[in-house]
Amino acid sequence: MAKATKKDRLSIVDKATNLYWEKGFHGTSMRNLQDVIDMRPGSIYAAFGSKEGLFKEAIQHYAQQGIDHLNTLKLEKNSPFKGLKAFVESAVIHSQVVAPSGMCMLAKTVSELTEENAELLAEAKSLLNKIEGAFAQALSEAQMTGEIASSKNTKQLASYLQVQVMGLRTYARFNSDKATMKLMLDNVFATIQE
């Protein structure tokens, strides 16, 4: 029973994540949530405490999915650098077609929320830092495998990469030419390896 409940909760959070990602926090009404996750408002409040509680769980789920995907790609490519590049390519190019929004859900959240939602804003910022930390970890691993120079500052490179990903995802919303986007990504990773 506990496993089924955990599985059901994950399914609900996954559906809510996609809805929030598409519409944003303020653009998602309780009615939208009720329709998508098939729960009445009272049940949502009982399970998650509030719309904010469900949103917080949704952005945590989104961030963890991203980190898990990055780790999977590092293993599949048998290379931390190639895995990181595949992850970024997926986030920038492929997400424009398959994701609820071409923008990063966390970047979209930081852009949307104000101090009125200080706790959620702080959580989104913290999760962006966590993802940047996962980039730094992959880059440190790439140093150990000789894929990038040991003299490079991986924290600075991770920050640079985070900025590039955010910018390229926004740029891709109005320039959907995959060849152009691929060239830009190649340039970003060439800079990291210089």
- Of 41, 23, 43, give the one whose Cα is nearest residue 31: 41
What is the pLDDT, as a whole number, of residue 61? 97
Alpha-carbon distance of 44 to 169, in angstroms, equals: 32
What is the pLDDT, as a whole number, of residue 176? 79
Pick out the chain residues at pLDDT < 70.
Answer: 1-5, 7
Residue 77 CB neighbour total at 10 angstroms: 15
Place of tokens 């800079």: 191
CA 159 to chain centre: 15
Domain ranges of the chain: 59-193
Q: Is 40 helix (H, G, I), strand (E, B) or coil?
A: coil
pTM over 0.85: yes
CATH of 59-193, one of 1.10.357.10, 3.10.129.10, 3.40.1190.10, 1.25.50.10: 1.10.357.10
Q: What sign does the dihedral 172-174-179-181 (CA atoms) show?
A: negative
Q: Is 25 helix (H, G, I), strand (E, B) or coil?
A: coil
- Burial track 13-44 (b if 16+ CB lie within 10 A, e otherwise): bebbbbbbbbbbbeebeeeebeebbebeeeeb
